[in-house]
């Protein structure tokens, strides 16, 4: 096992206060020196700092699973979101392919033939338990490759104290009303009436929310790219003309990340922001009085929402389909899956864990509203192999649509990236 996996094994052992979990010598691609099958996992970190890193979740899962399956050695490597994609690519190039990767994109690997179809490792029980709207989004050309791992839905968060001071009775349901509310908050001295995160962390979410509000989106129902559609261009033009240019957002949306806006909102510095369940935890811990409401649309409140998901994918290189199946059946057990999403402000992707959350969080009205949207959530087009290239370019350029460039030019460029990626894939 190379240095990265030695570090992962050492961390896992230390974090569980035992040296028996993983770390018995040098491991090869398929097995350890004691004959156990090694299953290497790369996962993204949901924690905000070292004290709440989701590495602890993986370490506990490793220890508990190995106690029941002594012939399998789980070695998790937990990485920041900013590093995971590049690190996985490097592992593959070095011939050190992991068995499982939990990240944000899977379709490119599926197109290269590197992944198992889910039918080769997923149990019938797990398949039946997945929420259909998310499992369907895990398909490439009709075949399931990406298992949804965790989910989130988006709603409009608003500061109730600010609304009261500005004599605003109800959250806005239309874009025009949102602009009116933002202007009223500004007149009351609110420095940032609407938080607009278009920095490189996750601008694809904010962008899609505005596209959906104008009946647009990255693709149409047939899966054709529609990034530069008239609806999408019109949506971003509206945001620039009615929120950014009048000074109703923070002054640098192209440099502001989602987490920056969330922290500002929880600290009482933003009037409205589109948020997901993690912001519920952040705002509640800060003691903020806030509400959540359906996303405003051009002509009325949106009935659905953006349903972002992160994905689990299984690589076929090491031939560990049977061991992967065993581990995923453990990982997606209702109690285990619930423990992860509850700890990090996420939503479940299985019916069984969703039922647990609804029962145990029955008094949390805001969370219940976000759970209720799960069946109506519209995920990213993650099943399109070009999606990873589109999001990479979008993270670099979408913010300039509000400043130095213009929405039509930026969206035209993204459309060209998508079409070129599709053409290149078809030519291979």
Q: What is the mean pLDDT of residues 38-56?
A: 86
Could you tell me the pTM of the whole model? Answer: 0.88
Q: How confident is the model at residue 427 (pLDDT cuts 50, 70, 90)?
A: confident
Q: How confident is the model at residue 406 (pLDDT cuts 50, 70, 90)?
A: very high
Three-state SS sequence of the chain: CCHHHHHHHHHHHHHCCCCCCCCCCCCCCCECCCCCEEEEEEEECCCCCHHHCCHHHHHHHHHHHHHHCCCEEEEEEEECHHHHHHHHHHHHHCCCCCCEEEECCCHHHHHCCCECCHHHCCCHHHHHHECHHHHHCCEECCEECCEEEEEEECEEEEEHHHHHHCCCCCCCCEHHHHHHHHHHHHHCCCCEEECCCCCCCCHHHHHHHHHHCCCCCCECCCCCECCCCHHHHHHHHHHHHHHHCCCCCCCCHHHCCHHHHHHHHHCCCEEEEEECHHHHHHHHHCCCCEEEECCCECCCCCCCEEEEEEEEEEECCCCCHHHHHHHHHHHCCHHHHHHHHHHCCCECCEHHHHHHHHHHCCCCHHHHHHHHCHHHEECCCCCCCCHHHHHHHHHHHHHHHHCCCCHHHHHHHHHHHHHHHHHHHHHC
**What domains lie within the chain, and their CATH numbers?**
3-150+309-378 (3.40.190.10), 153-307+381-427 (3.40.190.10)
pLDDT in tens, 191-205: 999 999 999 989 999
pLDDT of residue 104: 86
pLDDT of residue 49: 62
pLDDT of residue 394: 98
Q: What is the mean pLDDT of residues 328-336?
A: 98
pLDDT in tens, 224-273: 999 999 999 999 999 999 999 999 999 999 999 999 999 999 999 999 99
Q: How confident is the model at residue 52 (pLDDT cuts 50, 70, 90)?
A: confident
Q: How confident is the model at residue 30 (pLDDT cuts 50, 70, 90)?
A: low
* Average pLDDT value over all residues in the chain: 91
Q: How confident is the model at residue 33 (pLDDT cuts 50, 70, 90)?
A: low
pLDDT in tens, 266-296: 999 999 999 999 999 999 999 999 999 999 9
Q: What is the mean pLDDT of residues 344-348?
A: 94
């Amino acid at each position: 096992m190379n240095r990265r996996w030695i570090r992962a094994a050492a961390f896992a052992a230390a974090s569980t206060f035992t040296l028996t979990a993983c770390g018995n010598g040098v491991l090869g691609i398929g097995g350890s020196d004691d004959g156990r099958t090694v299953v290497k996992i790369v996962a993204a970190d949901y924690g905000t700092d070292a004290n709440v890193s989701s590495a602890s979740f993986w370490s506990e899962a490793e220890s508990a699973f190995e106690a029941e399956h002594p012939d399998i050695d789980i070695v998790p490597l937990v990485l920041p979101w900013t590093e995971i994609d590049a690190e996985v690519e490097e592992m593959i190039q070095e011939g050190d392919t992991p068995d499982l990767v939990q990240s944000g994109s899977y379709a490119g690997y599926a197109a290269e033939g590197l992944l198992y179809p889910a039918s080769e490792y997923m149990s019938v029980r797990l398949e039946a338990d997945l929420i259909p709207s998310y499992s369907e989004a895990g398909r490439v050309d009709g075949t399931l490759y990406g298992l949804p791992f965790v989910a989130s839905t988006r709603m409009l968060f608003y500061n109730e104290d600010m609304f009261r001071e500005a004599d605003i009775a109800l959250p806005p349901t239309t874009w025009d009303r949102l602009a009116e509310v933002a202007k009223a908050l500004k007149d009351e001295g609110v420095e940032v009436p609407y938080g607009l995160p278009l920095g490189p962390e996750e601008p694809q979410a904010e962008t899609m929310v505005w596209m959906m509000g104008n009946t647009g989106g990255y693709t149409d129902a047939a899966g054709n790219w529609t990034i530069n559609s008239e609806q999408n261009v019109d949506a971003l033009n509206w945001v620039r003309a009615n929120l950014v240019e009048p000074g109703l957002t923070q002054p640098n949306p192209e440099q502001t990340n989602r987490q920056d806006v969330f922290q500002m909102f929880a600290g009482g510095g933003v009037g409205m922001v589109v948020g997901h369940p993690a912001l519920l935890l952040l705002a509640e811990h800060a003691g903020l009085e806030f509400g959540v409401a359906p996303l405003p649309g051009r002509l009325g409140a949106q009935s659905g929402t953006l349903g972002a998901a992160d994905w689990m994918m299984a690589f076929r290189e090491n031939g560990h389909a049977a061991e992967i199946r065993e581990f995923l059946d453990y990982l997606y057990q209702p109690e285990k899956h619930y423990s992860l999403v509850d700890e990090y402000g996420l939503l479940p992707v299985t019916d069984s864990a969703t039922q647990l959350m609804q029962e145990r969080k029955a008094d949390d009205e805001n969370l219940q509203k976000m759970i209720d949207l799960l069946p109506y959530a519209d995920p990213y087009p993650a099943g399109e192999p070009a999606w990873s290239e589109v999001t990479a370019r979008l993270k670099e350029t979408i913010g300039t649509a509000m400043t130095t460039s213009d929405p039509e030019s930026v969206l035209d460029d993204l459309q060209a990236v998508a079409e070129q990626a599709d053409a290149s894939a078809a030519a291979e």
